Amino acid sequence: MTLEGLDDLDRAILGALQRDARHTSSGEIAERMDVSASTVRKRIQRLESEGIITGYRATVDYEQAGYPLYMLLICTAPIPERERLADEALTVPGVVDIREIATGSENVMVTVVAADAEELTATARRLVELGLTIGEEELIRGDRSTPFDGFASVTAEAAESADADES
């Protein structure tokens, strides 16, 4: 499905789930959008099956969880191997996030958590063994994100036709 295939109800669902998937029920979304809860549940199932919603995650304070080292490793991978190396890096203990960068030589960002320097060194060593070259290591002090504003809440009037379509 493309952006053109998303209607106001789909965008409202995506916005609500990005803001707080754990505490947002389909009934609450339905009430805000003036549609039925079953319509919202069907839409969520469709968004999941079409690969638009790819999962749900907890946000973890790693330091509070006993992992005080939260690092960004800025790496280089050969372009033809970048995707494979990024996938393999996700299997390395301590790696929690990978970002492939489309431009530049530092084209793989690896986020790692570790309890101590020994664990961090072991993770870095394993990444190098896979074929990544680590250029920089940055200690992360904090991490913030926000939902994409393109999925902002919409009015109930804009979604009235969606409920009729789902019935």
Domain spans of the chain, in order of start? 3-57+151-166, 69-139
One fold for both 3-57+151-166 and 69-139? no
**What is the CATH number that goes with domain 3-57+151-166?**
1.10.10.10
Q: Model confidence over 130-144: pLDDT tens digits?
A: 999 999 999 998 888
Judge whether 114 and 89 are in contact, CB under 8 Å. Answer: no
What's domain 69-139's architecture? 2-Layer Sandwich (3.30)
Q: Kindly report whether the global pTM for this prediction surpasses the value 0.85.
A: no
Q: Model confidence over 74-87: pLDDT tens digits?
A: 999 999 999 999 99
Judge whether 62 and 70 are in contact, CB under 8 Å. Answer: yes
What is the per-residue DSSP string for 98-125?
EEE-SSSS--EEEEEEESSHHHHHHHHH
Q: Model confidence over 45-71: pLDDT tens digits?
A: 999 999 999 998 888 888 999 999 999
